[in-house]
């Protein structure tokens, strides 16, 4: 038997089709289509790929794989349908406003996709002889120059694979720099409002993490920070603009104080979209900052990645940057790898990844940057900040905005759950927004605000789109304030109602397994005939 | 600017709603001396789609694409044919422009795909469970070493000399700062692996043994005895697979007793991409699942009892556990995992086995042809689709001379191990289904000419 699910049973199928006005035989509801797993519909004998030749005999002896693997195959027709059906159960930027705070879900231009697929980029091997990939090195170098100029920094490490990997790069640069100075500083200071990756990164690299206190106005408490600095502090990790959506006014003073105490300043650049083209982190005394190309420079999030996290570095940290990197010479571009590093880059902390980084993201980001130019990027920051402030001021009468009195926000507007009816929470507002056709905002982050709701509209939303979103959020907020019981069970119109996450964690089912031949499990034809 | 919908009138109206007189009011918190007045000087201004495409296309043309002629590179990145439907499907906006599925009610597409991906990867690698992906094989390998340290509470890892030198380099970089002890070295030009010697080196401080399968020289070996040796000493066996297509033909590491299996998934669905983005595979035995790094997707039910999927066991992860997390990873390789999963679904078990057999057959054909050249021999006594040629001269200059003849003829060990003169004559040659018989003949003729 090659079918893994020989009975043809599908989980949403029911014998009670038409029993009431919401039930169907298939579990489908018109365009809302249920889809079984590939393991339930495929067979190990089916393939959607034709080959020009039969499989030649292999002579691998005892190493030959003889036992069944259990990998289902589908024809191309079935494959296209399976994944198209799955795709329709996802929300996406292409469908509507995606206001996830600190995630910068902006429009993904399709020219970027086209360029990334040019064979010269997509079909090149990372270890090809250098003379055959000069165009690829040129892309890396050109993007690097833009990132250096836009941030006012000394150099950039291009190889980190995502934001958190970039954080690790910056923190290792700091560690290497301290080692070169012969100092053993063990503490990294991180504000409570930081992304979870910041403390996780510092700990992963062997540092002890301590909190930096915040002021009531939502910013780093400069005096408290100064008081904590000392010979054991390696540096600070600060997000600017911070996760409360505020610009750290004292950033330069913070940097000066940290430098005076012998430490380094790491800036989490997740929120660079608010200031790109208007403020250079290098002018604020930053030593290292990662740039999420998948945020500010619009490479698609892809349902969770891939990202890309180049790290710009100050003159103090540049000598420790990881391998490999591209340099420009009269005769062309050169890739500096382990062998040439000895002469050119003796203090490098080493390699962070195989090959040279996320080339597919570099081509997209460079395309995006060239499309905008210096003027367009400045406009990006301005429109992103304008849109966020518009949302903040349009909703502060119905939702508590804890830092609204602190002045304008940057690219994201922060609200709390204060004033909701007894028993109603931020989660209910989020789920209510789903029924209104929106992806919820970031919820319960940052941790410093109770029931936080962090809204980042980005610059690629029109005023009309913002007005409709504001109306929807206002309506849902009023329902939460008035205690509408229907909101407690939202969403009602999504492909699934609220999912039982506790059960998922208590008894994890992380892979599909052949169903035990349960007596009474009806087969497809039996259901149809009943 | 074609990507920005706000009009000048919109901006004025919105500023009025906000109560600001100009956009500069909104940047009032930026210190005056850090504000830039206009667009950053000496940078180009915005450009049309046509102009940008022209510029990028000119850069792309300065690369010799792998498909432009005979191509034999591998060493951790393999060129396979990817069916057209894979790229079409991953460009569906609902996959491409979605975020991490933290709101499961409206992310079942991504979540079900991840559940299917995890199930496929676990079966392919011969393990119980797999996660929702890592950045790539090299970072997955280091994460596995760290995971073994957490499980065994020991800090010494033994790396096979057959481990990809970049993977080893990544581990060395990290170990320098974490205090982990690594025992490693360069490979020697022998037909067999160093696994028996590794088994003898395991001691009470050993957290794990890391082997690559097939290894950097293309050799394959049975890891059953090594797995037993690890188990007897309380150490874990970590297997690294950089060419997962091989597992259509040869036994899976999990089947032979590996505790953690990591890999580079690039060769299925993703393409060469000049080195990234790729997709790290990470799989292990069920008993270690709570020590895994990265996201995991699990099955559950919704409030109406319908089956659905959610990200789960997130108390291991940075956004919940912060400095106590198992890893700092957040963004992974979701879209590449989707490409892997679609290609694997198209192949199915039957297709994967046939693809693997064709690869092996093509490699045998190439090895036979190339070994006929005077002074050239094949090192391996076992291989899948990649083997090491021993040349009568240093391989690096040969590679460049072959490139002048439009043949991309493999990866020289001189490039991978520049400091080791003993390896200089080695050339790693990969032969996949994309290589034709004519390509093999052209390669053999050019190599004969270059060596003459």
How confident is the model over B152-176, as pLDDT tens digits? 999 999 999 999 999 999 999 999 9
- Can you give the pLDDT at residue A13? 66
> What mean pLDDT, rounded, does chain B reach?
96
Instruction: Give the relative orientation of helices B108-125 and A76-87 as an angle to the nearest 10 degrees.
Output: 130
Is A508 close to B313, i.e. CB distance below 8 A? yes
> What mean pLDDT, rounded, does chain A reach?
93
Interface probe, candidates B63, B147, B241, chain A, greatest A C-beta count within 10 A: B63
Is A383 close to B62, i.e. CB distance below 8 A? no
- Can you give the pLDDT at residue B41? 85
Q: Looking at residue B207, what DSSP letter applies? A: E
Q: Residue A53: which of B29, B46, B358 has the nearest Cβ?
A: B358
- Chain B residues touching A389 at Cβ < 8 A: 14, 18, 20, 26
pLDDT in tens, B271-284: 999 999 999 999 99
B384: closest chain A residue by CA: A60
Mean pLDDT of A405-430: 96
- Can you give the pLDDT at residue A16? 61
Please state, for a pLDDT cut of 90, what percent of chain A lies above it: 83
pLDDT in tens, B191-214: 999 999 999 999 999 999 999 999
Poorest-pLDDT segment among A23-27, A426-430, A526-530, B70-74: A526-530
- Can you give the pLDDT at residue A345? 85
A408 contact B CB<8A: yes
- SS3 of A245-298: the string is CCCCCCHHHHHHHHHHCCCEEEEEHHHHHHCCCCECHHHHCCCEEECCCCCCCC
pLDDT in tens, B411-425: 999 999 999 999 999
The residue with tokens 């076992």 is B382
Smallest Cα distance from A106 to chain B, Å: 9
- Among A residues 171-210, those touching chain B with beta carbons less than 8 Å apart: 172, 175, 195-197, 199-206, 209
- Can you give the pLDDT at residue A266? 97
pLDDT in tens, B181-192: 999 999 999 999
User: E strands of B143-279, at which residues?
Assistant: 156-159, 181-183, 206-212, 236-241, 260-264
- Can you give the pLDDT at residue B315? 85
Q: What sign does the CA torsion over A330, A334, A336, A337 have? A: negative
A504: closest chain B residue by CA: B300
Q: Residue B361: which of A39, A56, A172 has the nearest Cβ?
A: A56
Q: Residue A518 burial by CB count (10 A; 0-12/13-18/19+): exposed, middle or buried? A: exposed
Tell me the C-alpha distance between A100 and B88, whole Å.
27
- Among A residues 107-146, those touching chain B with beta carbons less than 8 Å apart: 107-109, 111, 113-115, 117-129, 131-136, 138-139, 142, 146
Do residues B369 and B441 make contact, with C-beta atoms less than 8 angstroms apart? yes
Question: Is the model's pLDDT at A524 over the cut of 50?
Answer: no
- Can you give the pLDDT at residue A19? 63
* CB crowding A123-155: b at 16 or more within 10 Å, else e: bbbbbbbbebbbbbbbbbbbbbebbbbbbbbbb
Q: In what order do the strands lie in the sheet with B156-159?
A: B129-130, B280-284, B260-264, B236-241, B206-212, B156-159, B181-183
Q: Residue B23: which of A149, A386, A509 has the nearest Cβ?
A: A386
- Among A residues 493-522, those touching chain B with beta carbons less than 8 Å apart: 494-501, 503-505, 508-512
What is the value of pTM for the model shown? 0.97
Distance of CA A411 to the CA centre of its chain: 17
Q: What sign does the CA torsion over B351, B356, B360, B362 have? A: positive
pLDDT in tens, A331-382: 999 999 876 767 778 899 999 999 999 999 999 999 999 999 999 999 999 9
Is A94 close to B344, i.e. CB distance below 8 A? no
- Can you give the pLDDT at residue A518? 54
Smallest Cα distance from B369 to chain A, Å: 17
Do residues A395 and A404 make contact, with C-beta atoms less than 8 angstroms apart? no
Do residues B251 and B263 make contact, with C-beta atoms less than 8 angstroms apart? no
Smallest Cα distance from B432 to chain A, Å: 13
Q: Residue A465 burial by CB count (10 A; 0-12/13-18/19+): exposed, middle or buried? A: middle
A294 contact B CB<8A: yes
- Chain A residues touching B112 at Cβ < 8 A: 35, 37, 86, 89
ipTM: 0.97
Question: Is the model's pLDDT at A22 over the cut of 60?
Answer: yes
Count Cβ atoms below 10 Å from residue B175 Cβ, excluding itself: 19
pLDDT in tens, B106-138: 999 999 999 999 999 999 999 999 999 999 999
Query: CB contacts < 8 Å between A and B, how many?
Result: 711
B344: closest chain A residue by CA: A73
Look at residue A90 and give its three-state secondary structure: strand
pLDDT in tens, B90-100: 999 999 999 99
Q: Looking at residue B56, what DSSP letter applies? A: H
Tell me the C-alpha distance between B128 and B115, whole Å.
13
Question: Is the model's pLDDT at B322 over the cut of 90?
Answer: no
- Chain A residues touching B252 at Cβ < 8 A: 65, 69
- Can you give the pLDDT at residue B150? 95
Smallest Cα distance from B104 to chain A, Å: 7
pLDDT in tens, B30-68: 999 899 988 888 899 999 999 999 999 999 999 999 999
Phi/psi at B35 (5° precision): -85, 140
Band of residue A192 on the pLDDT scale cut at 50, 70, 90: confident
Smallest Cα distance from B60 to chain A, Å: 4
Look at residue A346 and give its three-state secondary structure: coil
pLDDT in tens, B15-30: 999 999 999 999 999 9
DSSP for B381-432 reads SS-SSEEEEEPSS-HHHHHHHHHHTT-B--EEHHHH-TT-GGGTTEEEEE--
Question: Is the model's pLDDT at A522 over the cut of 60?
Answer: no
Is B30 close to A278, i.e. CB distance below 8 A? yes
- Chain A residues touching B281 at Cβ < 8 A: none
Question: Is the model's pLDDT at A15 over the cut of 90?
Answer: no
Band of residue B347 on the pLDDT scale cut at 50, 70, 90: very high
- Can you give the pLDDT at residue A525? 47
Is A386 close to B15, i.e. CB distance below 8 A? yes
């Amino acid at each position: 038997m090659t079918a893994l699910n020989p009975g043809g049973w599908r989980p949403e199928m029911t014998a009670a089709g038409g029993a009431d006005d919401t039930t169907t035989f298939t579990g489908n509801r018109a365009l809302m289509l249920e889809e079984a797993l590939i393991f339930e519909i495929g067979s190990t004998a089916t393939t959607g790929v034709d080959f020009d030749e039969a499989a030649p005999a292999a002579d691998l002896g005892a190493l030959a794989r003889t036992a069944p693997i259990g990998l289902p195959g589908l024809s191309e027709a079935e494959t296209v349908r399976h994944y198209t059906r799955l795709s329709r159960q996802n929300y996406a930027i292409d469908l509507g406003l995606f206001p996830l705070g600190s995630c910068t879900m902006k429009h993904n231009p399709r020219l970027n996709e086209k360029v990334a697929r040019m064979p010269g980029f997509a079909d090149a091997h990372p270890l090809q002889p250098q003379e055959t990939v000069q165009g690829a090195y040129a892309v890396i170098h050109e993007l690097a120059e833009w990132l250096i100029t836009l941030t006012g920094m000394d150099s950039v490490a291009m190889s980190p694979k995502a934001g958190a990997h970039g954080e690790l790069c910056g923190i290792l640069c700091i560690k290497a720099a301290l080692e070169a100075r012969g100092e053993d500083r063990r503490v990294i200071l991180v504000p409570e409002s930081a992304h979870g990756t910041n403390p996780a990164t510092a700990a992963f690299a062997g540092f002890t993490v301590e909190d930096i206190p915040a002021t009531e106005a939502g910013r780093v408490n400069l005096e408290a920070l100064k008081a904590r600095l000392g010979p054991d502090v390696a540096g600070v990790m600060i997000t600017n603009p911070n996760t409360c959506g505020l610009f750290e006014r004292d950033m330069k003073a913070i940097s000066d104080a940290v430098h005076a105490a012998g430490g380094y300043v790491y800036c989490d650049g997740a929120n660079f979209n608010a200031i790109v083209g208007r403020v250079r982190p290098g002018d604020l005394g930053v030593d290292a900052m990662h740039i999420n190309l998948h945020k500010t420079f619009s490479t698609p999030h892809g349902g969770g990645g891939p990202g890309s996290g180049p790290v710009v570095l100050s003159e103090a940290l540049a000598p420790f940057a990881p391998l490999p990197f591209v340099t420009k010479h009269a005769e062309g571009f050169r890739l500096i790898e382990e062998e040439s590093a000895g002469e050119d880059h003796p203090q490098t902390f080493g390699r962070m990844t195989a090959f040279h980084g996320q080339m597919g993201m570099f081509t997209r980001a460079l395309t995006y940057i060239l499309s905008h130019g210096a003027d367009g990027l400045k406009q990006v920051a301005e429109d992103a900040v304008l849109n966020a402030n518009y949302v903040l001021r349009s909703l502060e009468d119905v939702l508590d905005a804890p830092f609204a009195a602190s002045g304008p926000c940057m690219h994201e507007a922060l609200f709390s759950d204060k004033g909701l009816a007894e028993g109603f929470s931020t989660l209910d507002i989020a789920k209510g927004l789903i029924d209104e056709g929106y992806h919820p905002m970031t919820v319960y982050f940052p941790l410093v605000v109770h029931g936080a709701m962090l809204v980042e509209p980005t610059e690629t939303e029109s005023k009309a789109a913002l007005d409709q979103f504001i109306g929807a959020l206002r309506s849902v907020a009023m329902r939460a304030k008035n205690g509408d019981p229907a909101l407690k069970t939202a969403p009602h119109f999504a492909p699934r109602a609220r999912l039982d996450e506790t059960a998922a964690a208590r008894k994890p089912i992380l892979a599909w397994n052949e169903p035990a031949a349960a007596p009474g499990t009806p087969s497809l034809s039996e259901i149809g005939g009943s | 600017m074609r990507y920005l919908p706000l009009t000048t009138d919109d901006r004025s109206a919105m500023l009025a709603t906000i109560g600001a007189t100009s956009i500069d009011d909104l940047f009032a918190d930026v210190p005056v001396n850090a504000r830039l007045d206009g667009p950053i000087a000496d940078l180009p201004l915005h450009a049309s789609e046509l102009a940008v495409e022209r510029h990028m296309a000119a850069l792309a043309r300065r690369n010799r694409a792998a498909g432009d002629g005979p191509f034999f590179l591998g060493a951790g990145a393999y060129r396979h044919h990817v069916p057209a439907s894979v790229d079409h499907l991953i460009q569906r906006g609902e996959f491409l422009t979605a975020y991490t599925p933290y709101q499961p009610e409206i992310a079942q597409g991504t979540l079900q795909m991840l559940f299917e991906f995890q199930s496929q990867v676990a079966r392919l690698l011969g393990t119980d469970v797999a996660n929702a992906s890592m950045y790539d094989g090299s970072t997955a390998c280091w994460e596995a070493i760290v995971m073994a340290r957490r499980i065994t509470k020991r800090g010494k890892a033994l790396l096979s000399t057959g481990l990809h030198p970049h993977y080893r380099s990544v581990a060395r970089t990290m170990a320098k700062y974490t205090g982990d002890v690594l025992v490693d070295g360069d490979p020697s030009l022998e037909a067999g692996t160093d696994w028996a010697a590794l088994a003898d080196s395991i001691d009470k401080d050993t957290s794990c043994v890391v082997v690559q399968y097939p290894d950097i020289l293309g050799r394959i070996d049975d890891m059953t005895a090594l797995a037993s040796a690890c188990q007897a000493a309380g150490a874990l066996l970590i297997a690294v697979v950089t060419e997962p297509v091989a597992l259509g033909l040869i036994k899976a590491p999990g089947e032979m007793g590996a505790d953690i299996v990591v890999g580079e998934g690039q060769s299925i669905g993703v393409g060469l991409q000049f080195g990234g983005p790729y997709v790290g595979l990470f799989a292990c035995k069920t008993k270690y699942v709570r020590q895994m790094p990265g996201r995991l997707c699990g099955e559950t039910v919704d409030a109406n009892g319908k089956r659905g999927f959610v990200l789960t066991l997130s108390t291991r992860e940075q956004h919940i556990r912060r400095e106590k997390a198992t890893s700092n990873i957040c963004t992974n390789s979701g879209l590449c995992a989707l490409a892997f999963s679609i290609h694997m679904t198209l192949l199915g078990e039957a297709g994967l086995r046939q693809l693997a057999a064709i690869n092996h057959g093509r490699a045998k054909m190439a090895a036979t042809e190339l070994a006929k050249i005077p002074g050239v021999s094949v090192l391996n006594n076992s291989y899948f689709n990649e083997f090491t040629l021993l040349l009568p001269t240093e391989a690096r200059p040969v590679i460049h001379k072959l490139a002048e003849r439009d043949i991309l003829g493999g990866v020289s060990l001189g490039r991978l191990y520049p400091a080791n003169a003993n390896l200089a004559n080695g050339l790693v040659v990969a032969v996949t289904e994309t290589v034709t018989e004519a390509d093999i003949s052209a390669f053999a003729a050019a190599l004969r000419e270059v060596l003459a």
